[in-house]
Structure 1
Amino acid sequence: MPADFVKIYPKNPDMNRIRQVASALRDGAVVIYPTDTIYGMGCDIHNARAVERVARIKGIKPQKNDFSFICYDLSHIADYARVSNSAFKLMKRLLPGPYTVILEANNQVPKLLNSSKKTVGIRVPDNDIPRQLVHELGNPIITTTLRDEEPGTVEYSTDPELIFEKYRHDVDIVIDGGIGGYVPSTVIDATTDDFEVIRLGLGEVNWD
């Protein structure tokens, strides 16, 4: 059965449609959605089968994933990661925004992902669609980007109609939130207080 194609505007998103997608996530759906950078694909962190589906679509093993968590805000991050005072202050400055902050995972994360990973990436994108989805769902969603590595294929990860054509038989819902970006988030390692930029992306690095 092909995916549903759902139009949601990033500014003042239709909450009936948000609730529809959140309910599907709760039932194990895999969803593609816009962020403040590249379109992402993800699912409810508490649904192991959905996590395995996302990994299978991406062609990776769940235990060796580079998934991040999309959170609504910073209030529940301590449920999944160990956060120093300086890292929390940094995140408070940068988020919501186009950043992924790498933190030391606590014991809850391996249970969620059946993984031995010791770190977790945290995203609070500056886009109300994924944030409201998380808020309605009641917990973070696992996310991975739809970045196409082949030359000349940028439009397939930025145009929601083309994304739908490509993934319509792999996922359950594709959200059309307008044309997406093609520059990924800036990744900052905050596992120690010597913050290190792992990848320079859309987010500026100016915390000094």
Structure 2
Amino acid sequence: MAEFIKIYNENPNPREIKRVVEVLRKGGLIIYPTDTVYGLGCDITKTKALEKIARIKGVKLDKANWSFVCADLSNLSDYVRQIDTPTFKILKRALPGPYTFILPGNNNLPKDFKKKKTVGIRVPDNNIARAIVESLGNPIISTSIRDEDEVIEYTTDPELIYEKWQNLVDIVIDGGYGHNVPSTIIDLSDSEPIVLREGKGSLDIL
């Protein structure tokens, strides 16, 4: 059964963050807050954890389109090919924020993502998510948790999330109520930006 950990976004407790990171390093799954909807994630280098998430989501791992949650733009070059100045300016304007950017991947992608030509990058405007990634030292996966109920597409109450997910993950972080609008997805892998999904982030950044 999952642990239910309360962490405050204004000032994430380093001890609690460390506990989450320990679980991620052992290949555990977490549900964590972002600046949009709550996310389901694991360490991007842990194959077994990635396979577990793929099973939960009902997709094949090599077909899954998940984003990497990064702490900031500094480790982008670890996973992304050289990006031009206009693209970098868009990223600088938008991040941290409620956006997912599709960028051309490079040869350093973890082994489970080697075949991918592109990678989705998230730098959420949420201190908890960014503190976890910073402490872990590499990105975590971001895939949203959805309700089957079409009226409420995303669960926003951490206690209800815990009730539903407690037997599927190792930690559910209560970071306060989430949002029910997902991130805006923008493809920057080609010459012109293409908006793939309009979500919480404004398009004024383009």
**TM-score of the superposition, structure 2-length normalised?**
0.95
Unaligned runs of 5+ in 2: none
* Whole-Å separation in 1 of the counterparts to 2:191 and 2:139: 25
Aligned partner of residue 62 in structure 2, secondary structure: helix
* Whole-Å separation in 2 of the counterparts to 1:26 and 1:43: 9
* Whole-Å separation in 1 of the counterparts to 2:31 and 2:205: 31
State how 1:1-208 maps to structure 2 within 5 Å.
2-82=1-81, 83-109=83-109, 111-114=110-113, 116-154=115-153, 157-208=155-206
* Whole-Å separation in 1 of the counterparts to 2:111 and 2:140: 11
Letter in 1 for 2:178: G
Aligned partner of residue 162 in structure 1, secondary structure: helix
Q: Deviations over 1:15-43 (max 9, x none)?
A: 11001101111111100000000000000
Q: CA deviation at 1:115?
A: 5.2
Q: CA deviation at 1:180?
A: 0.4
Q: CA deviation at 1:87?
A: 1.4
Q: Do the aligned partners of 1:185 and 1:202 also contact (CA within 8 Å) in 2?
A: yes
Q: CA deviation at 1:192?
A: 2.0
Pair 207,114 (structure 1): closer, same or farther in 2 beyond 3 Å = closer
Aligned partner of residue 164 in structure 1, secondary structure: helix
Q: Do the aligned partners of 1:43 and 1:142 also contact (CA within 8 Å) in 2?
A: yes
* Whole-Å separation in 1 of the counterparts to 2:167 and 2:23: 16
Identity of aligned residues (%): 53
Q: CA deviation at 1:104?
A: 0.8
Q: Do the aligned partners of 1:32 and 1:174 also contact (CA within 8 Å) in 2?
A: yes
Q: Do the aligned partners of 1:99 and 1:203 also contact (CA within 8 Å) in 2?
A: yes
Letter in 1 for 2:129: P
- Bigger drift between 189-198 and 70-79 goes to 189-198
Equivalent pairs counted in the alignment come to 205
Q: Do the aligned partners of 1:86 and 1:193 also contact (CA within 8 Å) in 2?
A: no
Q: Do the aligned partners of 2:66 and 2:120 also contact (CA within 8 Å) in 1?
A: yes
Q: CA deviation at 1:97?
A: 0.2
Aligned CA-pair RMSD: 1.3
Letter in 1 for 2:93: R
